[in-house]
Amino acid sequence: MSRAGRLLQLMQILRRHRHPVSGAVLAGELGVSLRTLYRDIAALQGQGADIAGEPGLGYVLKPGFLLPPLMFSAEEIEALALGSQWVADRADPRLALAAREAMAKIAAVLPRDLADMLESSGLVVPSRRTPALAIDLAVVRQAIRAEKKLDIAYRDAVGAETARVIWPIALAFFEQVRVIVAWCELRQDFRSFRADRIAAIDVAVERYPKRRMALLKEWRLREEARERCAPPQPGK
């Protein structure tokens, strides 16, 4: 690996760690000696990277620094191309447009050879139709970001409609359906709501009383516990 590539990899490793990480751990992930690591840290600091720490205490990268030019491996380019195609084809119009614009911005700052690789990726996402929605998923995403309650008119599998007040915490994009994960005030528990079964939606003025990340963590822990308790599937 070239030194430039190693510096980029070091930046990525530091970005993954929110708390100080020791030089030994960083050197081990890079496959270099501690002496080389210290030189690389100094080189990044010299280029403006706000890396706090010192030998023996660990290092942490403060946000806001990018190494020019923007570089990706061939696999990272393919992952970006594949992911943006999927979002552009299956997300709501505003999110689909955001995916295309994001890729255009990335392509504009890539070196020519990597930009060509991005445009000529051989990975393709086949077009598929999802059920038509009566609601705008962009409204749901905004409510999730703002931690706002949603008033929804929801139809169950047999068509019975109920009024619900939910606290949306996540939006799942499955191949055929879109699902809102939320706390349901009616059921006093977490529930999943298929977007194609929501007849109407309104964003409430008030925020829900808990922080979304705390709710999301609680939901994930419950899902993990449910999976551990589930009976084994035949043949597994």
Q: Which amino acid is at 43?
A: A
Q: How far apart are CA 167 and CA 184, in angstroms?
A: 7
CATH at 156: 2.30.30
173, pLDDT greater than 50: yes
Per-residue pLDDT averaged across 182-202, rounded? 95
Residues 6+ positions from 157 with CB-CB distance below 8 Å: none
End-of-domain residue from the set 17, 36, 61? 61
Mean pLDDT, all residues of the chain: 85
Residue 151 lies in a domain: yes
Position 128 in a domain: no
The strand pair at 148-155 and 161-173 is best described as antiparallel
Least confident of 32-46, 110-124, 126-140: 110-124
pTM for the whole structure: 0.66
**Per-residue pLDDT tens for 54-91?**
777 889 888 766 555 556 777 888 888 889 988 988 88
Q: Is 53 strand, coil or helix?
A: strand
Chain centroid to CA 205:
27
Question: What whole-number distance in Å separates Cα of residue 186 and Cα of residue 190?
Answer: 10
Band of residue 104 on the pLDDT scale cut at 50, 70, 90: confident
Residues 6+ apart with CB under 8 A from 130: 90, 176, 177, 178, 196
Do 11 and 94 fall within a single domain? no
User: Domain containing 164: what range?
Assistant: 137-229
CATH number for position 39: 1.10.10.10
